[in-house]
Amino acid sequence: MNIPERFTFVDKFLLSTLAVLLFLLAIQIIMVLFGFNKAHAQEQAPLVALKTVSFGQNKQLFTEQDKLNFIEQSRSQGFSDQDIGKASNITRKQRLNENDASKQTLASKSVTMASTNSSYYNHSFTIYDAQSYLFDDFDEDGFYQSFSVVFDADVISNIYNERADVYAELYLSIDGGPWTHYYTTDIFTIVGENIDDEYEVVTSLYEGYYTDHYDVLIDLYEVGYPGLVATFSSDDSDALYALPLESDEHDIYYDDHYYDDHHHHSGSAGFLGLITMLIIFFVRKTRHIAL
């Protein structure tokens, strides 16, 4: 770079500094254009385990206040469904494979039960219907951190109001991805095709669930029977389709305007301001020399 002799040592130093700053600015622009900062941040982000807090019981025993109280208390609990063995976070395919592996040990028991209870294999099951409800959207972005699923499981039998002990396993799928197990209910009793035995599971997504749309699937099992007896999912009802959900760490209210002004733009503004001041200084200096 040819520097006029009329420039003092200070002028030469400032001019060199300007050249370096312009070079750094060019690098910063390239990094922003190619998304380097975002990709680097994602690479450095720690892996977060999926955590939920859930509770289920007969829907008629659940008052609206009970559900609100549970959701509020779930945020202060020191344990999750995963901690107490009510959720495994494995895929439905893996879960079904585990259940298939247990069929051999249960087969002999099933034969014994069939010989002592002639009605054991004379009934079938169905999940007649299911609904979903959304709770708590603190940042008001349309995505909720708590929700409930209500389903009506029935026993189909020639015996009037036949009773059966069952339990359900619930799964979430993000945008059509694999079904991930998030809760296993306690054992509960259903009676014939009675609607009064509807079961409800209230869940708070505590950690690890990105902001997105989730589908729900319900698998039903009869206690003592070695296989799946009924299933119901978003393919059967829109009520379980594309629930807008996110876990607690993504549902934080903050002032977007304040955050943008004070965190995103201040550094760039200061950097550009320094370069602007240097350019003005040298333009004025050059005009003075020309005169």
On whether both 22 and 158 belong to a single domain, the answer is: no
- Per-residue pLDDT in tens (0 to 9) along the chain, 291 residues: 554 555 566 666 666 776 766 776 676 666 545 444 433 333 333 346 899 999 999 999 989 888 888 888 887 777 899 999 999 999 999 989 887 766 554 444 443 333 334 345 589 999 999 999 999 899 999 999 999 999 999 999 999 999 999 999 999 999 889 999 999 999 999 999 999 999 999 999 999 999 999 999 999 999 998 799 999 999 999 999 999 999 988 887 654 443 344 333 334 444 455 555 555 555 555 555 555
Which contiguous run of DSSP H or E holds residue 87? none
On whether both 59 and 190 belong to a single domain, the answer is: yes
On whether both 111 and 212 belong to a single domain, the answer is: yes
* Rounded Cα distance, 190 and 151, in Å: 11
Residue 110 is part of which domain span? 51-250
On whether both 40 and 57 belong to a single domain, the answer is: no
- Number of domain units in the chain: 2
On whether both 97 and 177 belong to a single domain, the answer is: yes
pTM value > 0.85: no
On whether both 55 and 188 belong to a single domain, the answer is: yes
Which pair of structure tokens corresponds to residue 25? 């600015």
Longest dimension (CA), the chain: 113
Across 122-179, where does the E strand assignment appear?
123-135, 146-157, 163-174
221 touches 228 (CB < 8 A):
yes
180 touches 206 (CB < 8 A):
no
